Structure 1
Amino acid sequence: MNRQSTFKALVVEEVDGAFTREIKSKLVSDLPEGDLLIKVHYSSLNYKDALSASGNKGVTRKYPHTPGIDAVGIVLSSKSARFKSGDQVIVTSYDLGMNTDGGFSELISVPEDWAVKLPENLSMKEAMIIGTAGLTAGMSVLRLTETIEPEDGEIIVSGATGGVGALSISILNKLGYRIAAITGKETARDFLMKLGADTIILRSDFEALANKPLLKPVYAGAIDTVGGVILENILKSTNPMGVVTCCGNVASPKLELTVFPFILRGVTLIGIDSQNYPMRYREQVWNKLANDWKPDNLADTCTEISLNELNDKIDLMLRGELKGRTVLNMVD
């Protein structure tokens, strides 16, 4: 493919302080220099993509820009000894889709260090149903299961209808854990029960728990995706020696609580940074997700869309009206 060849991409532009999104034709020469030129087969829509697509300068500093922090596809050309033309690879996080043009595009050009070979037993579409959200869920489950066994008690998952939450529930269910799911959507009960949740808790009820330094210990562990009051009450409600992972702050980045959960109950709070997760652990989690941790109901967590439908889905995500995973098919 020569540098004057064209491809399609969603392009976000800033004009007089306003942001627009449009599918445009671009040249291969427009792509950044990289070790791998990849034909994208699938991408997926994440909250960070929606922020980038709406002009959030905390995510993307310069426009025009193509979001998409997830991509999977086939290597067209390689300057790397690790990958060859024809290899199927996954690229998630690092700077993809943030300040480097991302997966909402038919082509991407990236450093070799950002890529993982697609594991056996995992299709390209399945890899994007999992995506950064599933990788984050897998990292969270990995850290949780280092300490907490299924017989230790119930695991509570916040943001349960979101990508990380839904896939965390699916993986935990696969591993035999009992799960309580926190959601703000009363209509999501059947969806969450089908994923494997045993108990459904409305977000408003959980946020309204008594404002005390400690609450009754109920949960053996937790996967929190939202932060704020939800995380505060999870920590206050965790059993002695319990483990809580946190990976998001959509509710709030602030925590207002005492040290009592940590020094009186020995609760452990583990932060999950999927963006720069070391490659050796990244490969470990991807292989688990392709095998023992692969949810039985992956397709149930996914809506597949075309590039032409992406704009509307971004708006829905920004309004908090999407559930599960949205996968972008770039080849049909």
Structure 2
Amino acid sequence: MTRFQAFRIHHDDAGHRAGLETMDTDALSPGEVLVKAAYSSVNYKDALAGTGKGRILRRYPLNGGIDVAGHVVASSDPAFKEGDAVLCTGSGLSETRDGGFAQYARLDARWTIPLPTGLGLRESMVIGTAGFTAALALLRMQDNRQTPDQGPIAISGASGGVGQLAIDIFSRAGYEVHAISGKPEHFDTLRALGAHACVDRHQLDFSGKPMDSARFGGALDTVGGSMLSGLLPLIHPYGNVALCGNAGGIAFDSTVMPFIIRGVSLLGVASAGTARDIRDTIWQHLASDWKPRQLARIATDEIALAQLPATFSRMLAGDAFGRTVVNHTLGG
């Protein structure tokens, strides 16, 4: 039994509360692999869970954090041994089991990924769920025959964590990327990440027609709502729109025309529940041919556990830019 610090989330008759607590490893969620955490990362979902602004957790109390990377301390599964470098994203972390905002995490061996060659622990958490989601979108699109010669890929919400990593990943994979963002002050950074063109969301004039002149070979939409409605009529024949977010709303207006006239496909991207074999494939890509080239530029903040509440506030206020990494060696 080891005592350690964790950012723990409660919700009971007294309401929501969250903060640093001291707990011991025996109190962690069950699992085969005990990991001493080195890094985790902060996602929008974590900010919602940590502040109580969104009901992300399905049981309480739990440690926050949907991502974690570190070294194995003990394992009852022969696939892992003490000292192994591993990572885990999604897979119930900070939803049904204790997550990565703690100095120790006990993981389900089914979802514990050996750190692939070519990727460091810190790099894996700069990528985290955000980069995994972007790479899963690319995999789904390519499985559905998306190719660079079909035309540029539009990436909405390009200033966000998923968007920035998607620019880097898609451009690394050979696609021309057109970044759509409502924050033109960040356009220089988006170009440095690999965007061929940047489009101001506030100046983007969708016609509202069921069909319009084809402009993009495909799209990764992190926004949903009216953004998705506007993008669908602009996709070239047999292009794909991968959808992974709903910041613009859960409903959208469209017609069947893009689907039955141009053969456009709308692909859902659900990263949290991705099957293990697909996870392994994606992380191998992220450590090699799809590895983002600008991770140092994308990781703009490195914090200790105690700084999580302030980070959540900035993120929910729209003041965060880039990826925030939690360094567990910085202490509580």
TM-score, normalised by the number of residues in structure 2: 0.95
Q: Does 1:32 align with 2:29?
A: yes
Choose 52-61 or 259-268, whichever is displaced more: 52-61
Q: Distance in 1 between matches of 2:66 and 2:106?
A: 13
Q: Distance in 1 between matches of 2:184 and 2:160?
A: 14
Hey, what does 1:308 align to over in structure 2? 306
Hey, what does 1:184 align to over in structure 2? 182
- How big is the shift at 1:47? 1.1
Choose 16-25 or 67-76, whichever is displaced more: 16-25
Which structure 2 residues correspond to residues 74-153 of structure 1 after superposition, within 5 A? 74-146=71-143, 147-153=145-151
Q: Does 1:285 align with 2:277?
A: no
Q: Distance in 2 between matches of 1:60 and 1:319?
A: 21
Q: Does 1:214 align with 2:211?
A: yes
Q: Which runs of 5+ in 1 are unaligned?
A: none
Hey, what does 1:65 align to over in structure 2? 62
Query: Which of 184, 200, 203 is the equivalent residue of 1:205?
Result: 203
Which structure 2 residues correspond to residues 165-176 of structure 1 after superposition, within 5 A? 165-176=163-174
Q: Distance in 1 between matches of 2:228 and 2:94?
A: 28
- How big is the shift at 1:138? 0.7
Hey, what does 1:49 align to over in structure 2? 46
Hey, what does 1:265 align to over in structure 2? 262
Hey, what does 2:324 align to over in structure 1? 326
Q: Distance in 2 between matches of 1:279 and 1:82?
A: 14
Whether the 8 Å contact between 2:180 and 2:200 is mirrored in structure 1 is: yes
In structure 1, give the amino acid aligned to 2:266: L
Q: Distance in 2 between matches of 1:145 and 1:188?
A: 29
Hey, what does 1:255 align to over in structure 2? 252
Q: Distance in 1 between matches of 2:198 and 2:292?
A: 20
In structure 2, give the amino acid aligned to 1:203: R
Choose 140-149 or 90-99, whichever is displaced more: 140-149
Choose 61-70 or 94-103, whichever is displaced more: 61-70
Q: Distance in 2 between matches of 1:15 and 1:200?
A: 45
Whether the 8 Å contact between 2:150 and 2:236 is mirrored in structure 1 is: no
Q: In the TM superposition, what whole-angstrom CA distance separates every residue of 1:105-142 from its partner, at most 9, and x where no partner exists?
A: 00111211110100011000000011111111111112
In structure 1, give the amino acid aligned to 2:25: V
Choose 69-78 or 11-20, whichever is displaced more: 11-20
**Alignment partner of 1:167: what SS?**
helix
Choose 8-17 or 230-239, whichever is displaced more: 8-17
Hey, what does 2:291 align to over in structure 1? 294
Choose 224-233 or 305-314, whichever is displaced more: 305-314
Whether the 8 Å contact between 1:215 and 1:233 is mirrored in structure 2 is: no
CA, structure 1 residues 61+175, in 2 after alignment: closer, same or farther (shift >3 Å)? closer
Q: In the TM superposition, what whole-angstrom CA distance separates every residue of 1:275-305 from its partner, at most 9, and x where no partner exists?
A: 1111111101101110111121111111222
Q: What percent of counterpart residues are identical? A: 39
Q: Distance in 1 between matches of 2:225 and 2:288?
A: 34
**Alignment partner of 1:331: what SS?**
helix
Choose 247-256 or 20-29, whichever is displaced more: 20-29
- How big is the shift at 1:66? 1.7
In structure 2, give the amino acid aligned to 1:65: L
Whether the 8 Å contact between 1:241 and 1:268 is mirrored in structure 2 is: yes
Q: Distance in 1 between matches of 2:137 and 2:194?
A: 17
In structure 1, give the amino acid aligned to 2:108: P
